[in-house]
A and B are shown apart, each in its own frame.
Chain A
Amino acid sequence: MPAPIRLRELIRTIRTARTQAEEREMIQKECAAIRSSFREEDNTYRCRNVAKLLYMHMLGYPAHFGQLECLKLIASQKFTDKRIGYLGAMLLLDERQDVHLLMTNCIKNDLNHSTQYVQGLALCTLGCMGSSEMCRDLAGEVEKLLKTSNSYLRKKVTLCAVHVIRKVPELMEMFLPATKNLLSEKNHGVLHTSVVLLTEMCERSPDMLAHFRKLVPQLVRILKNLIMSGYSPEHDVSGISDPFLQVRILRLLRILGKGDDDSSEAMNDILAQVATNTETSKNVGNAILYETVLTIMDIKSESGLRVLAINILGRFLLNNDKNIRYVALTSLLKTVQTDHNAVQRHRSTIVDCLKDLDVSIKRRAMELSFALVNGNNIRGMMKELLYFLDSCDPEFKADCASGVFLAAEKYAPSKRWHIDTIMRVLTTAGSYVRDDSVPNLIQLITNSVEMHAYTVQRLYKALLDDISQQPLVQVASWCIGEYGDLLVSGQCEEEEPIQVTEDEVLDVLEGLLVSNLSTPVTRGYALTAIMKLSTRFTSVNRIKKVVSIYGSSIDVELQQRAVEYNALFKKYDHMRNGFHLSLLMIINFRFFVVLSSFKMVQVCLSCLCVVPILQANDLLDLLGGNDVVPVIQNTVSTKPASAGGELLDLLGDLSLSGIPPMTAYNKNGLKIDFTFERANPNPNIAVITIHASNSTEADMTDFVFQAAVPKTFQLQLLSPSSNVVPALNQGTVTQVIRVLNPQKQQLRMRIKLTYTHKGSAVQDLAEVNNFPPQSWQ
């Protein structure tokens, strides 16, 4: 049988194929030849055949029949065979394959081979893709090899140890003795990998971290030598000596200095030195500066150093290089909570980045801009953000609109400005506004009593222009339903009142009902608005006619409403005026989700008792004033606060699911962290425990945490451990939230916090968007 064709020959042949079909034919032919060659146990050409197979595998063709051949190659004595064999193993024999473990013995032998390059191959394979079982079996060999003085091997073994620790964390202790004098190496490769090993150990174990803190002076010294040393051709990159090692050391320093005053102080000088002396003309210098800034921000650095770091980021923002601007925005976003004032100084540069052409930069700039909005700059910032909303890509509009609403709610300088801002968003990006915004806006408008006339007038005018944007239409319909009387009586103070008759208003609302552009939800709003006007307008007959027409509508929702409104006309005419106002507000908010199948007449009767007791605003407060989904609070207030709190705290400290905890809110000394669990047996339920802590010197009393989520989720809030958040972080208040997420959509939450601090009541709203993906996927 002729010798199998060479690898390069095969590659050349395959590349001549002009169609996919032709290529597939060639590949199949060659695979057949290779298969029969394997069957004949041909030692001489096995290597060549496997190499060809690997090439075909890279093109996307199956190569599993070569797995055992790789094992045979690894076991061979020839270096060429081993090289290709191990390459094949790394490409075809990952830990999911059954035959993966068969490699173990070969690797073990090769770890002790007399030729260092063979040892290198074995170490590389183990260190890149060894399974946990393999790592367990061979950890002893790795540990032994760590003692070698051969620098070529030492660096490989060290990274192999890192991989073993990642796969089998319990084995970490085993490598501790070998870490003595790790840093007294001169060889950069060994030094670099040693720093990686130390970093891995410190990240995984607080004990190790404490143990290795004593290395800080040594690390500082090494870094200093790197910076001060002259030109070293071996490690030089654009005039900087071994930037990879510098960055790694900076990262380790970050981990060691975090939360520790002494260590942080020991590194202050070197950090300042790196920050001021590094060349910024090339990317490599900026990479080091970036890592330095991250380190400064994370440790307990003195304030001068922190300001220096933020100024570096500010300079980055002005850099021509997009990558550097992107990186600056990302870092500033991380630090804006803790160093708010320093970041504020760069606000105008950040706002300019909104106009950047690059999508990644725009997004970061938008997030950062929202984080920087406060009572002082709200007017200017909002102008920029609204301009951004007008011109940005659709992918941003929803988030931007939400951000604008939130910021406006918190910092609006006047009601008029607030309403105007909302109008602007609704008219320019109305179709991208989130569904949950509509009830929020309605509540807002309700609360701005003196602006009702102005609001309804503006909304009416907007409707005349454009009825395609559903959220705008829904809010407008609702307003007209509520305040139609103000509209026709021409009572507006803020601007020139328009002249409009009852019939014109009804024309517009009826137009919404028949228009193709209106969604069923919008039609519902329109019909309800028409109904409400029956108590405000005089042309009741016209309204009665419209309502009765829709009693036979195809849309079930609409039909049901119409029929029930009709019943109201007929049976309860005398009551209509009395409780319409609050009642229909409830219906609109679908507060009684469960009762939607009930006839409204029954609801009317039951509400008769409810409504006189509660004012409209109280109802909305019960809802948390936020979203459509009701929050069912378990108010078991008789439970002793401390016992419940401890239990919840215990649960809170275990991150059972491996989902990382996150900080949801951190302002004015109040910090709220979320920790996660999965509830068994239902994997669609995420159990979140909030931990509220207070770093100010006064207690926060009457602390109430409320949360609301979008429509597709359901939320259950259990009772909190207590309602006093003690000062100076002396304790935490915990509370458990259970979120049902059957559609596995991205988790978002709006939270409302109220408490009394130093005698005054504080209230705040925030959106939580930074949930880790594992909590909702």
Chain B
Amino acid sequence: MKVNRQGKLRLQKWFTSMSDREKKKIIRDMTTMVLARQARSCNFLQWKDLKIIYKRYASLYFCLAVESQENELLALEIIHRYVELLDKYFGNVCELDIIFNFEKAYFILDEFLMGGEIQETSKQIVNRSIEASDMLQELGGYAAGCPSLSPPRSL
């Protein structure tokens, strides 16, 4: 989950099924708690039976909610790795990049994590996969054997 300093949600990815109302409540609670934290507190919070790990990068807070047996220090590394991936892709990423290209932020996340677990530990491989998918999209990406009828339209 990525939230900016005014509490606006920029990205949310759920790995367990919940009703919309529950999701909204969780986001609201988490956002309030994280934004209320003082500058030099530790990056971990306990909320019900979940641990929340958050880190602030410029104007965005990146939050992970995990089960109790997860390694918090590694979770910080996971957040950092995701930010690095975004940075490499967008070149000095800032909040506006993520706002205007939110779908790309999701695609990158989907190459890095799946079902709540890391799927690829190499930065280069993740980046290459995204670039290749983008290329496929640019070329009009039809299934093999299907001729391209019209030039690709951008979103």
A interface residues, Cβ below 8 angstroms from B = 6-8, 11-12, 15, 44-45, 47-48, 51, 54-55, 58-60, 77-80, 83-84, 87, 90, 94-96, 113-115, 117-118, 120, 123-124, 127-129, 131, 152, 155-156, 159-160, 162-163, 166, 188-189, 192-193, 196, 234-235, 237, 242-245, 247, 251, 283-284, 286-287, 290-291, 294, 322-327, 357-361, 772-773
Contact = CB atoms under 8 A, between A and B. Distances in A.
- Most B CB within 10 A of own CB, among A117, A192, A326, A327: A117
Interface string B83-117: 00000000000000001101100110010001101
B41 A358 contact: yes
Interface in B100-136: 100, 102-103, 106-107, 110, 114-115, 117-125, 129, 132-133, 136
A95 B144 CA distance: 31
B99 A11 contact: yes
Contact of B124 (A59, A162, A234): A234
Contact of A87 (B45, B73, B78, B106): B106
Interface residues of B, number: 60
Interface string B50-91: 000000000000000000000111101110010000000000
Contacts of A113: 143
A650 B27 CA distance: 42
Contacts of A124: 110, 114
Contacts of B106: 87, 90
A193 B121 CA distance: 10
Given A58-B12, A234-B125, A323-B42, A159 B155 contact: no
A80 B152 contact: yes
22 contacts: A48-B153, A54-B103, A55-B102, A77-B143, A80-B140, A120-B133, A124-B114, A128-B13, A128-B15, A128-B114, A159-B114, A188-B121, A189-B119, A192-B119, A196-B117, A234-B122, A235-B121, A287-B71, A324-B73, A326-B72, A327-B72, A358-B41
B42 A11 contact: no
Contact of A323 (B43, B107, B120): B43
B46 interface: yes
Contacts of B13: 128
B74 to A, nearest CB: 4
A711 B132 CA distance: 64
Contacts of B125: 189, 234
Contact of B115 (A128, A291, A359): A128
A247 B71 contact: yes
7 nearest A-B pairs in the assembled complex, by CB-CB distance: A79-B141, A287-B73, A322-B42, A189-B120, A287-B74, A163-B115, A7-B155
Nearest to A131: B17
B104 to A, nearest CB: 10
B49 A773 contact: yes
A129 B17 contact: yes
Contacts of A324: 73
A457 to B, nearest CB: 44
Interface in B31-48: 40-46, 48
Contacts of A114: 143-144
B16 to A, nearest CB: 9
B121 A189 contact: yes
B103 A87 contact: yes
Contact of A287 (B40, B41, B43, B76): B76
B30 to A, nearest CB: 15
Given A58-B11, A193-B118, A358-B42, 7 more contacts: A115-B141, A129-B15, A244-B77, A287-B74, A323-B44, A324-B73, A361-B42
B20 to A, nearest CB: 8
B9 A58 contact: yes
B38 to A, nearest CB: 8
B153 A44 contact: yes
A233 B9 CA distance: 34
A326 B42 contact: yes
A79 B119 contact: no
Contacts of A44: 153
Contact of B44 (A96, A287, A360): A360
A456 B77 CA distance: 59
A192 B118 contact: yes
B17 A6 contact: no
A155 B119 CA distance: 6
Contacts of A131: 17
Given A242-B121, A247-B74, A127 B115 contact: yes
B77 A115 contact: no
B90 to A, nearest CB: 14
Contacts of B44: 323, 326-327, 360
Contacts of B9: 58-60
A539 B153 CA distance: 100
A283 B103 contact: no
A295 to B, nearest CB: 11
A287 B73 CA distance: 5
A139 to B, nearest CB: 15
Contacts of A55: 102
Given A58-B102, A287-B74, A117 B132 contact: yes
Contacts of A60: 9, 24
B12 A6 contact: no
A343 B80 CA distance: 32
A117 B155 contact: no
A242 B117 CA distance: 15
Nearest to B12: A58
B148 to A, nearest CB: 9
Nearest to A117: B133
A118 B81 CA distance: 25
A425 B121 CA distance: 53
Contacts of B154: 6
B6 interface: no
Contacts of A326: 42, 44, 72
B101 to A, nearest CB: 8
A283 B115 contact: no
B117 A193 contact: yes
A78 B142 contact: yes
Given A44-B153, A84-B103, A79 B137 contact: yes
A237 B80 CA distance: 11
Nearest to A12: B100
A245 B121 CA distance: 8
A80 B150 CA distance: 13
A77 B142 contact: yes
A283 B42 contact: no
Report which residue of A79, A96, A131, A160 has the largest number of chain B beta carbons within 10 angstroms of its beta carbon.
A79
B80 to A, nearest CB: 8
A453 to B, nearest CB: 46
Contact of A115 (B42, B120, B121, B144): B144
Q: Which of A45, A118, A244 has the most CB of B within 10 A?
A: A244
Contacts of B120: 155, 188-189, 192
Nearest to A772: B49
Contacts of B153: 44-45, 47-48, 80
Contacts of A160: 114-115
B71 A159 contact: no
A79 B136 contact: yes
Nearest to A15: B99
Contact of A96 (B17, B133, B143, B144): B17
Given A58-B9, A193-B119, A87 B46 contact: no
B128 to A, nearest CB: 9
Contacts of B77: 237, 243-244, 283-284, 287
Given A8-B100, A94-B14, A160-B115, A80 B72 contact: no
